[in-house]
C-alpha cells in the first residue's frame, strides 16, 4: 500500500501530510514526536491502511511543513491543537482515532479534552502521558535545541542510530529511511535533522506545557498507552496513575524499548489494531 504526499493550509501555515488508505472512511490521525516527522509513521500507517485511512502530518517546523515565523507563540501544544483541528476540518473528517508518539500523544490529550472533544473516538499514546520526567525533558532539550551537523548522510545515520537507540529494533532499511526522510542540507553543505531548532522554544516560553493532568482527568474515551519498558520520559509510576484516574488507560509495556517504541513490528501493529477495533 503506497501513500500520497499532500499540503494544506491550516491557521495560515502550510502543513505537509502523507495519506494512506484513502479509500477507507474510518480514519486514524497519526502524529509524530518532538523532533521527528510524519514519515516515522510509515510502517504502522502502511499496516493500518488495510482498514483505515491514515493521515500522518508533519508538525509546523518539522519535515516539509512550514517553519513558524512566530516561534515563541506557535511552537506549543495550544497552537499544535489549533493546527490539528484545522487539518481535520480542512479534510472533512468529523470523527477519527488518534495515534500519537511522544509530543503527538500530548497533542492528542489536549485536543481530545478541548478543541476536538467528542470527535476523537479512541486515543493511542506511544510513550506519552499527562506528566513527563523532568530529567528526560532536559535530555531532549540538550540535543533538540542545538541539532548536530555532519559532512555526510552516513554520519547523520550513525548519529540517529545512537540517539534513537531507545526506539528498539529497526532494520538497516528502516534506519536508512528514518535518516533520509528527516535530513536537510545546511548552507555550508553539511547535513542536519530536518526541523527548526527554534521549536525548542516550547520549553523556554511555555512552562509546564507537558503537565496535563487537568485535561487527562476530563477524558472519557478509551485510551491505550504503549510505554517503552526502559522509558526515561514516561515513568512507571506515572503510567500507574494513568491506569487509575481520568479515562483509566490500558497500559502495555513494550520490551526492549525506551522512549519511544518505533511502531514498526508485527506485535506493536497488533496492539494498536486490536485497540482501535474495540
**pLDDT tens, residue order, the chain (278 aa):** 699 999 999 999 999 999 999 999 999 999 999 999 999 999 999 999 999 999 999 999 999 999 999 999 999 999 999 999 999 999 999 999 999 999 999 999 999 999 999 999 999 999 999 999 998 888 877 778 899 999 999 999 999 999 999 999 999 999 999 999 999 999 999 999 999 999 999 999 998 999 999 999 999 999 999 999 999 999 999 999 999 999 999 999 999 999 999 999 999 999 999 999 99
Kindly state whether residue 167 falls inside one of the protein's structural domains: no
**C-alpha to C-alpha distance for 114 and 109, rounded to whole angstroms:** 9
Cβ pair 88, 119 in contact under 8 A: yes
Kindly state whether residue 169 falls inside one of the protein's structural domains: no
Cβ pair 39, 63 in contact under 8 A: yes
Kindly state whether residue 271 falls inside one of the protein's structural domains: yes
Q: How many domains does the chain have?
A: 1
- Residue reference for cell 479534552: 113
Domain with residue 252: its CATH number is 3.40.50.1820
Kindly state whether residue 186 falls inside one of the protein's structural domains: no
**What does the DSSP 8-state code read for residue 195?**
B
Cell of residue 61, nine digits:
517546523
Is-cis flag, bond preceding 260, omega within 30? yes
Enclosing domain of residue 266: 3-138+210-276
Contacts for 128 with CB less than 8 Å, ≥ 6 apart: 100, 101, 102, 103, 104, 105, 106, 109, 225, 233, 234, 260
DSSP 3-state assignment of 254? Answer: strand
Cell of residue 22, nine digits:
484513502
Kindly state whether residue 202 falls inside one of the protein's structural domains: no
Kindly state whether residue 194 falls inside one of the protein's structural domains: no
* Maximum alpha-carbon separation in the chain: 52
Kindly state whether residue 39 falls inside one of the protein's structural domains: yes
**For residue 178, how far is the Cα from the chain centroid?**
14
Kindly state whether residue 108 falls inside one of the protein's structural domains: yes
Amino acid at each position: 500500500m503506497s501513500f500520497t504526499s499532500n499540503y494544506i493550509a491550516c491557521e495560515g501555515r502550510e502543513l505537509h501530510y502523507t495519506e494512506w488508505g484513502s479509500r477507507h472512511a474510518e480514519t486514524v490521525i497519526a502524529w509524530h514526536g518532538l523532533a521527528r516527522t510524519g514519515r516515522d509513521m510509515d510502517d504502522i500507517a502502511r499496516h493500518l491502511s488495510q482498514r483505515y485511512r491514515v493521515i500522518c502530518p508533519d508538525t509546523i517546523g518539522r519535515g516539509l511543513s512550514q517553519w513558524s515565523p512566530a516561534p515563541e507563540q506557535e511552537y506549543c501544544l495550544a497552537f499544535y491543537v489549533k493546527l490539528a483541528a484545522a487539518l481535520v476540518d480542512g479534510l472533512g473528517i468529523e470523527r477519527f482515532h488518534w495515534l500519537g508518539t511522544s509530543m503527538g500523544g500530548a497533542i492528542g490529550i489536549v485536543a481530545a479534552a478541548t478543541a476536538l472533544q467528542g470527535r476523537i473516538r479512541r486515543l493511542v499514546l506511544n510513550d506519552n502521558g499527562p506528566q513527563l520526567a523532568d530529567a528526560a525533558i532536559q535530555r531532549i532539550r540538550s540535543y533538540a535545541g542545538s541539532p548536530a551537523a555532519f559532512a555526510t548522510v552516513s554520519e547523520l545515520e550513525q548519529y540517529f542510530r545512537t540517539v534513537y537507540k531507545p526506539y528498539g529494533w529497526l532494520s538497516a532499511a528502516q534506519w536508512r529511511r528514518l535518516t533520509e526522510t528527516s535530513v536537510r542540507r545546511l548552507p555550508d553543505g553539511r547535513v542536519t535533522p530536518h526541523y527548526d531548532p527554534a521549536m525548542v522554544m516550547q520549553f523556554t516560553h511555555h512552562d509546564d506545557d507537558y503537565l496535563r493532568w487537568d485535561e487527562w482527568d476530563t477524558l472519557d474515551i478509551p485510551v491505550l498507552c504503549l510505554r517503552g519498558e526502559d522509558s526515561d520520559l514516561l515513568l512507571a509510576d506515572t503510567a500507574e496513575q494513568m491506569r487509575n484516574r481520568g479515562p483509566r488507560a490500558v497500559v502495555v509495556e513494550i520490551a526492549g524499548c525506551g522512549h519511544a517504541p518505533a511502531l514498526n513490528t508485527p506485535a506493536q501493529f497488533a496492539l494498536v489494531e486490536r485497540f482501535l477495533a474495540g
